[in-house]
Structure 1
Amino acid sequence: MASEKVIAQKQEIVANLKEKLTGSVAGVLVDYKGINVAEDTKLRKELREAGVDYTVVKNTLLKFAIDEVGFGALDAHLSGTTALAVSKEDPVIAAKILAKYAEDSKGQFSIKAGFLDGEVIDSDKVIAVGKLPSKEQLLVQLLSVLNGNIRGLAVALNAIAEKGQEEAPAVEA
């Protein structure tokens, strides 16, 4: 029988996982088998710099946490080695980094499933989300489109003003 101390530690881990899940806009479960230490260090650094919390988790403890937050559909993906990556602000960044890494690893590292805006999504959807532009890229595209229209309007108004000056009769003194 597990000691009270061990049970308390596990309950604390489950509570921390639950907090990560509820405080995040998106998350990804991955199977990290076959990844070496150097690759893992590089991946963790990239995720950390992007504001993504990446943690290797025990399936049984994660199961308790996901069941408590209503992500029971993730239970089917809790086998083998599991790591959880969650993002508190950017719904795309974790999927983007991990999908690219999974593609480059040629099957040794794979996406299991994920969640986005409170909904569980399968690995194909996680990969599709990973291919979306980031929030910053979308804002730049939007501003570029808006700026192009404003610039066009300014050029047209300037041309009308110049044409009006050419056609105006000269005033004699």
Structure 2
Amino acid sequence: MSINIKKKKKIINEIKKISENSLSAVIADPKKINSNKINILRKNARKNNVKIKVIKNTLLKKAIHKTQFECLKKKLKNFTLIAYSIKNPGSAAKLLYLFSKENKTFKIKGAAFEGKFIKSKKIKKLVSIPTYKESIQKLMFTIKEATIGKLVRTLMSIKNKKE
């Protein structure tokens, strides 16, 4: 079933708005993935501040024209799933990478970060970028370890002075 021109323009404007506010984007081929799995992926995406759309390539090409994600145009064929990272540049890459590990027919085509195309084989670079939550947890762990270490050193120096 085809959609009319008004709906197409609305979809293009919506994608363009998301593109302007996103840090990175990852495209994938959703072939042979049933809708239940895509819905689970969308649910996980909402938790991680990732916007996911399955869209025709002609509409996507028009939506990403003159944006930082224009470099993705070369890889667009058939229907495409596009995931935008809103708060952390690696969150969409991590989400789709983990999903592709569970679903072998799901293929990542590539990603765009800071206007540059990243091949699907190099997605691990974006996956390795920690989220804010992970960064805060690591910082808290480091502070905790440093505090405990300082306490132990202080107690040891008091013990040594008493002897």
2:73 maps to a residue whose letter is: D
Equivalent in 2, 12, 15 of residue 14 of structure 1: 12
1:114 maps to a residue whose letter is: A
Equivalent in 62, 65, 68 of residue 63 of structure 2: 65
Alpha-carbon contact 1:25-1:118 (below 8 Å) kept: no
How big is the shift at 1:103?
Answer: 1.9
Larger radius of gyration between Structure 1 and Structure 2: 1
Residue 68 of structure 1 aligns to a residue whose secondary structure is coil
How big is the shift at 1:26?
Answer: 1.9
- Structure 1 pair 12/41, CA: closer, same or farther in 2 (3 Å)? closer
| Overall identity of the aligned pairs, in % | 30
**Moved runs in structure 1, 4+ residues, more than 4 A?**
none
TM-score for the superposition, normalised by structure 1: 0.80
Q: How many residues align?
A: 161
How big is the shift at 1:70?
Answer: 4.0
**Residue equivalent to 1:86:** 84
Gaps of 5+ in 2: none
**Residue equivalent to 1:137:** 134
Q: Where does 1:83-162 land on structure 2 (aligned, <5 Å)?
A: 83-106=81-104, 108-162=105-159
How big is the shift at 1:85?
Answer: 1.0
Equivalent-residue separation in structure 1 for 2:149 and 2:124 (angstroms): 38
After superposition, give the CA deviation of every residue in 1:84-118 in whole Å (9 maximum; x if it has no partner): 11121122221111111112212x11111122244
After superposition, give the CA deviation of every residue in 1:26-77 in whole Å (9 maximum; x if it has no partner): 2211110000122122222221222211111111111112222143321111
Residue 86 of structure 1 aligns to a residue whose secondary structure is strand
How big is the shift at 1:8?
Answer: 3.8
C-alpha RMSD of the superposition: 2.2
Residue 53 of structure 2 aligns to a residue whose secondary structure is strand
